Amino acid sequence: MKAGKVSEAVLKRSVIKTVNKQEGVVSKAAVGSDAGLFAPKENTGVMAASCTTLSGAEEGLAAVAVKRACNSLAASGATTDAVTVQLMLPETAEETVLKDLMKEVVSACEESEVVLANGHTQVSAFVTEPVISVTAMGSPSAVMTLEENVYGSDLVMTKSAGIAGAALLAKYYRENLHERYTYTFIDKAAARDTEVSILPEIKVLQELGIRHMHDVAEGGVFGAVWELCERLNAGVELDLKKIPIYQETVEICEYFDVNPYQLKGDGALLFLTHDSTAAIKVLKEAGITAAVIGRMNDGNDRVLINEDETRFLEPNRVDEYEKARTFERK
């Protein structure tokens, strides 16, 4: 199998089909469902959990992993109470690597206002770079009315495409990028890692009563739109020119010859609303940018419009970040 997320076909065949045979799961596993609800035995309450795993030696990757797990839980209507972290390190790693990873984890937990409840650290001869796994745990904070009619609603995206991917690449390949761009330009992209958390905008949207949300992460905007449509069994007309994107992200993606709309997009959030003007206005008042990028429909087609050209979106196959990371091995 290729590096990155497994294909949708493999996910459905070998993961979701198996997982959904379990008892006690309140919300079934599905494409586009990044958090699960379950009822503990001998307890009438419902708990929520979300997990993510990232691998690499890039500065900031551990922080992205923590924030992604918290983002997914929040976008699914839950509040994160605590996270657990598992680190697998190669034999070549020095202790300073572990210290730096833990500093990132603790800082991300503090920023997300969650407790680091537990963890496990291990060195293995079978890995060649650090592997960071994070599980976020909490409880539902909003009623997810996923049965409501989403057809005809606007598809809105906050912030920008490819935030996390561009920030990580800017840090890791700073000197390579300096062949073409100034340090000021590169560092501006790297500093966008402060935008990876989407908890503030989710809080605003929940207060507005908006429930249909999906965090952008692996596979970028295109991957997130596909997953949202798959989860809701809906179609969409997506306008490429309306997707917000920072100029630094565009330039960095051109350098690595990758698609910014399929690049790690942590920091952006998709949501559906029939009153996008009001939602965008309230977000703006909270200091969060947002834009309508498409409209949902009751068909099965997920159409991407680029001026006079149209094409169909496809299930996410590989995050462009994985392609960019082969740069040093060319």
pTM, entire model: 0.85
**The pLDDT of residue 40 is above 60:** no
**53 touches 65 (CB < 8 A):** yes
pLDDT tens sequence across 215-231: 999 999 999 999 999 98
For 175, the token pair is 């000197």
Largest CA distance in the chain: 61
In the chain the domains, ranked by start, together with CATH numbers, are: 8-140 (3.30.1330.10), 154-329 (3.90.650.10)
**The pLDDT of residue 314 is above 90:** no
Residue 300 pLDDT grade (very low, low, confident, very high; cuts 50, 70, 90):
confident
The mean pLDDT value for 191-209 works out to 95
Question: Tokens 């709309």 sit at which residue?
Answer: 261
Q: For the ranges 112-121, 153-162, 185-194, which has the lowest average pLDDT?
A: 112-121
What pLDDT does residue 235 have? Answer: 95
**The pLDDT of residue 6 is above 50:** no
Give, in order, the Cα–Cα distances in Å from 39 to each of 44, 77, 139, 235, 305. 7, 16, 10, 32, 42
* Mean per-residue pLDDT of the chain: 86
Residue type, 295: R
Residue type, 107: S
**The pLDDT of residue 192 is above 60:** yes
For 264, the token pair is 């790690």
What pLDDT does residue 21 have? Answer: 46
The better pLDDT of the pair 62, 77 is held by 62
What pLDDT does residue 253 have? Answer: 97
**The pLDDT of residue 16 is above 90:** no
**The pLDDT of residue 108 is above 60:** yes
Q: What is the dihedral of CA 188, 193, 198, 200, to 10 degrees?
A: -70
